[in-house]
């Protein structure tokens, strides 16, 4: 039984305390895929049969915590690390910045999340499965894990000209808005997510009424326009199954900000609008505000229809009781505009001459203001300490047996952004179509409500072949699409450089800029919600399958930016936190760990990760070669390959220095010098050695394609020596040893990711049985499946990173005893390539089951979790590697995909 865990300050969590934890007692629960608690068990009309489905009553029964508890044996190595980290943390704090990994303010366990909204690279707003609006990423790359109860939908039912039912349908009850009736009966509501859409079904049995809210974001493959738009649509289908006609209204309420203290800053105001700019007439409200010195406007709107009445409310107080809005709705199921209310309620008592004169004066002032303000209903700006909310109501009559659709949209317009260092100005990609003046919300709302049926058609055409394939497990269909949430809600940024010209901000195009970036923009996304580094390359290596399959131009754009960074050098001195050794930020011809921190200036200041000197990491250069060839194998873009070739030459030459004994293999340096940055490798390692051999093979093939015969000859000789040494030094008859050190105590551990090089090589269409003999590969995979998968919770946990030869966990580091979701999916993809489909799906099921069903980590899939219900780094990039499984299925088992 496990009594303590480990912590290190690398991509793990800082040690705030030393505690012991006991394993919870095992419960006799059926964890098999067939017993999946979130796989749909019954058909619901107009809702997909596959996805992640829970009732509002669903509760996560497991209490999970961020990882903070070390093993006593690891404390000595953490002392210096913690001291140096704290010095940097304090320096950042004094500068008004937060650390790229803030171990002192970890995100706590909130098993509430559902499908987020918004396109790719434009900011996102999360939603809980009970309807909460939560987890805002409006500031580029920065998350606020907040819940905003004022952002809600309200149902009003009227019968015989009398309100008979009124209740909030979304959002958790907060300390304000006490006049609102919260607490929709949880047993009567079901949530279903299949990214980029979700469905929430509400039953109101006392009125034989059924509501279905369909949430749609414009995300679908091979689209580089609509997919970048900051918008989502909510279609409320109202079905009357009773015998009486009912008047039904849905009201959408929203407030300024993101649920943080900054919301109380002064200067927020609302403004109504009507628009038919994109061919769909809409009416709604805008909330004008400033977020971190960047103008941002929220727009909520409803679609006009012949049988739908649209009304709006300019403002309500989100910090008040909410009584005025609630009673306004209850009165007739609609909203009275601010001007209508003012007509009913005189500003002053006119019994005296003074009061009459005052009223006349106020009316004159109001008239003059109306001449200069953009709308007669524009609210006044909020003062310090105040917030402002607004609302849109759609009202219709639903006859017995009839069904009506009420269509809402939420958009946000924040086209001009900057990062904390403010060295450059950027335009969001969507500004190419909607401008950068900040007044696009009416047009955005009209566009969304006009075009969402087209989005849904494209989404269904994309998803249908997979969803209808009876050879694929139900849970896998959910995992494949729902894990894709991270492409938008992973802090993604899709940008154009901007410049000021003649007093106007406009797009900046450099003549030296690669064509793919000129056409498709710069793209960045976070390593994780808590690990705030852009395009972390060792991790993107796993996640990149999602992009090369679905948005290949984004993957190529990332590669071009990485190629530019490889050639750069930054001699700014730095003290690295782990060992205290001194160095510089960026070494020429070394692939950087990441392209920077949004709290600094990404793309300019790379390598935000200052724990280790990553110019000496053994996997980064190799992964550039692997991705370059993999991308070419998919796109057949010879110009791309030629552009990347000089960079490939430089990084391979740089990597050759790591072969210290001339045996054709690179050696690890005895510290954590690769993506497992708390798990040391010494000498030849299965992970980096295998990546090296795969990179050699790919580089030789690239050189052959571009016609460099000298490089082909030189590196073929290295490969011939290296593959012989690899087999000799690491193969033990059952698997490849972790490394060749013989003295580390974990050199003969069974590593789940030991065949990472073989996986990528074969996935890219290159076969070479002399590098990784098929019998070795199959035997090693079977050993990993037995030890690392089936050895824990009967195979329902995924793949633990390391085990000892006897099957016990490798406890030499925190990461050896972690389950990495992305590595588990990569291992499953490798198994699929080798024809081990049953083992592959069992392996991947464990990761999905643990995160999405047991630990309550849906739509925030972490980098890692452990047996004792600890997790590390919520909302992580690497789980996108589930698309490597789909890649393997399509390329190696086309007969399965065609069924």
d(CA 882, CA 899): 21
Q: How far is CA 19 from CA 22, 70, 74, 562, in A?
A: 10, 8, 13, 41
Q: Are 754 and 687 in contact (CB under 8 A)?
A: yes
Q: What average pLDDT does the structure give for the chain?
A: 92
- Pick the closest to residue 299 from 134, 442, 135, 447 (CA basis): 442
β-strand pairing of 162-168 with 152-159: antiparallel
pLDDT of residue 24: 40
pLDDT of residue 847: 98
**Bridge-partner residues for 165, per DSSP?**
157
d(CA 646, CA 652): 10
Domains of the chain: 113-337+381-414 (2.70.98), 617-733 (no CATH), 773-898 (no CATH)
With both helix axes pointing from N to C terminus, report the angle between 821-833 and 756-763 in degrees, rounded to the nearest 10. 60
3-state secondary structure of 612: coil
**Alpha-carbon dihedral sign for residues 874, 877, 878, 880:** positive
d(CA 355, CA 357): 5
Q: What is the mean pLDDT of residues 78-94?
A: 86
d(CA 627, CA 544): 8
d(CA 590, CA 581): 18
pLDDT of residue 579: 85
Q: What is the mean pLDDT of residues 282-291?
A: 98
Q: What is the mean pLDDT of residues 443-466?
A: 98
d(CA 235, CA 230): 17
* Res. 74: pLDDT tops 70: no
d(CA 11, CA 4): 19
Show the 3-state SS of 629-673. HHHHHHHCCHHHHHHHHHHHHHHHHHHHCCCCCCCCCCCEECCCC
845: its two tokens: 């099921």
Question: How many other CB atoms are found less than 10 A from the CB of residue 411?
Answer: 30
**Alpha-carbon dihedral sign for residues 322, 324, 326, 329:** negative
pLDDT of residue 4: 31
- Pick the closest to residue 282 from 447, 153, 454 (CA basis): 447
- Pick the closest to residue 176 from 259, 251, 109, 110 (CA basis): 259
The contacts of residue 508 (CB under 8 Å, 6+ apart) are 496, 497, 498, 499
pLDDT of residue 352: 38
Helices (H) and strands (E) in the chain, counts: 21, 32
Q: How far is CA 224 from the centre of its chain?
A: 18
d(CA 689, CA 619): 9
- Expressed in angstroms, the distance from the first to the final Cα of the chain is 46
694: its two tokens: 């795969």
Q: Are 407 and 231 in contact (CB under 8 A)?
A: no
pLDDT of residue 3: 32
Q: How far is CA 718 from the centre of its chain?
A: 40
d(CA 312, CA 274): 11
Q: Are 537 and 562 in contact (CB under 8 A)?
A: yes
Residue with tokens 């409310």: 313
Question: How many other CB atoms are found less than 10 A from the CB of residue 108?
Answer: 10
* Res. 582: pLDDT tops 90: yes
> pLDDT confidence of 351, banded at 50, 70, 90?
very low
d(CA 725, CA 704): 24
- Pick the closest to residue 594 from 615, 573, 618, 625 (CA basis): 615
pLDDT of residue 153: 98
pLDDT, greater one: 578 or 765: 765
Rg (CA), the chain: 29
Phi, psi torsion values for 54, nearest 5 degrees: -140, 155
- Classify burial at 232, counting beta carbons within 10 Å of its beta carbon; exposed 0-12, middle 13-18, buried 19 or more: buried
> pLDDT confidence of 221, banded at 50, 70, 90?
very high
The contacts of residue 427 (CB under 8 Å, 6+ apart) are 415, 416, 417, 436, 495, 496, 497, 498, 505, 507
d(CA 66, CA 634): 39
User: What is the DSSP-derived secondary structure letter of residue 128?
Assistant: B
Q: Are 601 and 421 in contact (CB under 8 A)?
A: yes
3-state secondary structure of 823: helix
pLDDT of residue 14: 34
HSE, side-chain direction, 13 A CA sphere, residue 514: 21
> Which helix (DSSP H) or strand (DSSP E) does residue 682 occupy?
strand 682-683
d(CA 866, CA 212): 37
Q: Which of 449-458, 477-486, 535-544, 578-587 has the lowest mean pLDDT?
A: 578-587
pLDDT of residue 34: 86
pLDDT of residue 357: 60
Q: Which of 82-86, 347-351, 406-410, 477-481 has the lowest mean pLDDT?
A: 347-351
DSSP symbols for 155-210: EEEEETTEEEEEEE-SS---SS-TTS-----GGGEEEEEETTEEEEEEEEGGGTEE
- Classify burial at 30, counting beta carbons within 10 Å of its beta carbon; exposed 0-12, middle 13-18, buried 19 or more: exposed
Phi, psi torsion values for 308, nearest 5 degrees: -125, 130
Q: What is the mean pLDDT of residues 512-524?
A: 97
> Which helix (DSSP H) or strand (DSSP E) does residue 331 occupy?
helix 323-332
Q: How far is CA 454 from the centre of its chain?
A: 24
The contacts of residue 804 (CB under 8 Å, 6+ apart) are 746, 748, 749, 750, 810
Q: What is the pLDDT of residues 625-639, one digit of tens each?
A: 999 999 999 999 999
Q: Which pTM was predicted?
A: 0.93
d(CA 7, CA 74): 8
The rounded percent of the chain whose pLDDT value lies above 90 is: 85
Q: Which residues of 130-163 are buried (b: 16+ CB within 10 A; e: fewer)?
A: bbbbbbbbbbbbbbbbbbbbbbbbbbbbbeeeeb
* Res. 748: pLDDT tops 60: yes
> Which helix (DSSP H) or strand (DSSP E) does residue 353 occupy?
helix 353-372
Q: Are 837 and 32 in contact (CB under 8 A)?
A: no
Question: According to DSSP H, which parts of 74-153 are helical?
Answer: 75-94
Q: What is the pLDDT of residues 629-681, one digit of tens each?
A: 999 999 999 999 999 999 999 999 999 999 999 999 999 999 999 999 999 99
Strand-by-strand arrangement of the 189-194 sheet? 52-55, 189-194, 197-204, 209-216, 231-240, 403-413, 294-303, 282-291, 269-275
d(CA 88, CA 457): 50
């Amino acid at each position: 039984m496990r009594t303590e865990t480990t912590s290190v300050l690398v991509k793990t969590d800082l040690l705030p305390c030393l505690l012991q934890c006991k394993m919870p007692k095992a419960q006799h629960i059926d964890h098999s895929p067939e017993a999946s608690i979130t796989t749909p068990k019954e058909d619901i009309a107009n809702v997909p049969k596959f996805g992640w489905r829970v009732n509002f009553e669903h509760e996560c029964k497991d209490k999970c915590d961020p990882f903070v508890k070390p093993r006593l044996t690891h404390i000595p190595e953490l002392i210096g690390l913690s001291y140096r980290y704290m010095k940097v943390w304090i320096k950042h704090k004094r500068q008004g910045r937060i650390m790229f990994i803030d171990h002192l303010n970890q995100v706590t366990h909130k098993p509430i999340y559902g499908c987020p909204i918004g396109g790719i690279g434009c900011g996102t707003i999360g939603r809980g499965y009970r309807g909460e609006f939560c987890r805002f990423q409006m500031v580029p790359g920065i998350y606020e894990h907040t819940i905003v109860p004022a952002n809600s939908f309200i149902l009003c039912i009227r019968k015989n000209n009398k309100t008979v039912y009124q209740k909030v349908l979304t959002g958790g009850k907060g300390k304000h808005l006490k006049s609102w009736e919260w607490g929709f009966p949880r047993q009567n509501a079901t949530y279903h997510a299949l990214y980029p859409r979700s469905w929430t079904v509400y039953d109101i049995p006392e009125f034989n009424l059924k509501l279905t809210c369909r949430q749609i974001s414009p995300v679908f493959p091979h689209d580089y326009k609509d997919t970048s738009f900051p918008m989502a649509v909510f279609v409320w289908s109202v079905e009357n199954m009773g015998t009486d006609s009912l008047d039904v209204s849905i009201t959408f309420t929203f407030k300024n900000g993101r649920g943080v203290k900054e919301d109380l800053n002064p200067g927020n105001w609302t403004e109504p609008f009507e628009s038919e700019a994109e061919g769909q007439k809409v009416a709604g409200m805008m909330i004008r505000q400033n977020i971190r010195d960047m103008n941002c406007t929220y727009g909520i709107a409803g679609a006009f229809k012949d049988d739908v009445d649209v009304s709006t409310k300019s403002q309500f107080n989100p910090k008040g009781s909410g009584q005025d809005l609630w009673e306004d709705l209850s009165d007739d199921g609609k909203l009275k505009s601010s001007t209508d209310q003012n007509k009913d309620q005189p500003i002053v008592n006119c019994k005296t001459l003074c009061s009459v004169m005052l009223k006349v004066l106020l009316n004159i002032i109001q008239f003059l203001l109306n001449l200069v303000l953009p709308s007669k209903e524009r609210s006044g700006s909020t003062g310090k300490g105040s917030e402002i909310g607004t609302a849109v109501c759609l009202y219709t009559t639903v006859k017995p047996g009839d069904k009506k659709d009420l269509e809402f949209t939420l958009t946000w317009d924040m086209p001009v952004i900057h990062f904390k260092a403010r060295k450059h100005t950027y335009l969001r990609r969507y500004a190419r179509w909607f401008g950068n003046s900040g007044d696009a919300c009416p047009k955005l709302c009209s566009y969304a409500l006009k075009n969402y049926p087209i989005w849904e058609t494209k989404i269904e055409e994309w998803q249908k072949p997979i969803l209808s394939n009876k050879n694929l497990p139900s849970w896998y269909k959910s995992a494949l699409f729902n894990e894709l949430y991270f492409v938008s809600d992973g802090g993604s940024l899709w940008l154009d450089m901007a410049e000021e010209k003649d007093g106007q901000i406009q797009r900046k195009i450099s003549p030296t800029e690669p064509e793919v970036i000129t056409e498709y923009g710069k793209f960045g996304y976070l390593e994780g919600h808590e690990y705030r580094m852009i395009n972390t390359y060792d991790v993107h290596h796993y996640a990149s399958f999602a992009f090369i399959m679905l948005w290949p131009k984004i993957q190529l754009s990332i590669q071009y930016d990485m190629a530019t960074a490889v050639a750069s050098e930054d001699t700014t001195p730095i003290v690295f936190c782990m060992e205290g050794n001194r160095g510089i930020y960026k070494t020429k011809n070394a692939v950087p760990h990441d392209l920077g921190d949004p709290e600094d200036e990404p793309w300019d200041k790379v390598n935000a990760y200052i724990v280790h000197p990553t110019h000496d990491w053994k996997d980064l250069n190799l992964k550039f070669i692997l991705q370059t060839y993999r991308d070419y194998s998919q796109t057949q873009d010879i110009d791309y390959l030629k552009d990347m070739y000089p960079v490939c030459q430089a990084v391979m030459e740089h990597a050759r220095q790591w072969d210290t004994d001339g045996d054709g293999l690179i050696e690890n340096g005895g510290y954590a010098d690769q993506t497992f940055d708390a798990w040391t490798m010494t000498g030849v390692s299965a992970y980096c050695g295998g990546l090296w051999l795969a990179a050699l093979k790919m580089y030789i093939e690239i050189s052959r394609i571009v016609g460099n015969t000298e490089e082909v000859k030189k590196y073929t000789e290295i490969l011939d020596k290296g593959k012989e040494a690899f087999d000799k030094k690491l193969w033990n008859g059952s698997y490849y040893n972790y490394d060749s050190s013989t003295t580390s105590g974990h050199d003969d551990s069974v590593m789940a990711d030991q065949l990472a090089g073989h996986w990528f090589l074969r996935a890219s269409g290159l076969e070479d049985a002399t590098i990784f003999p098929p019998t070795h590969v199959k035997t090693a995979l079977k050993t990993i499946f037995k030890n690392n998968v089936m050895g824990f919770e009967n195979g329902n946990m995924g793949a633990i990173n390391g085990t000892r030869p006897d099957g016990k966990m490798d406890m030499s580091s925190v990461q050896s005893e972690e389950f990495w979701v992305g590595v588990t999916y990569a291992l499953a993809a490798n198994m699929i390539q080798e024809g081990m489909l049953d083992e592959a799906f069992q392996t991947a099921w464990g990761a999905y089951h643990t995160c999405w069903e047991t630990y309550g980590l849906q739509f925030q899939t972490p980098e890692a979790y452990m047996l004792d219900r600890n997790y590390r780094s919520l909302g992580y990039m690497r789980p996108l590697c589930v698309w490597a499984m789909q890649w393997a299925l399509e390329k190696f088992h086309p007969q399965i995909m065609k069924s």
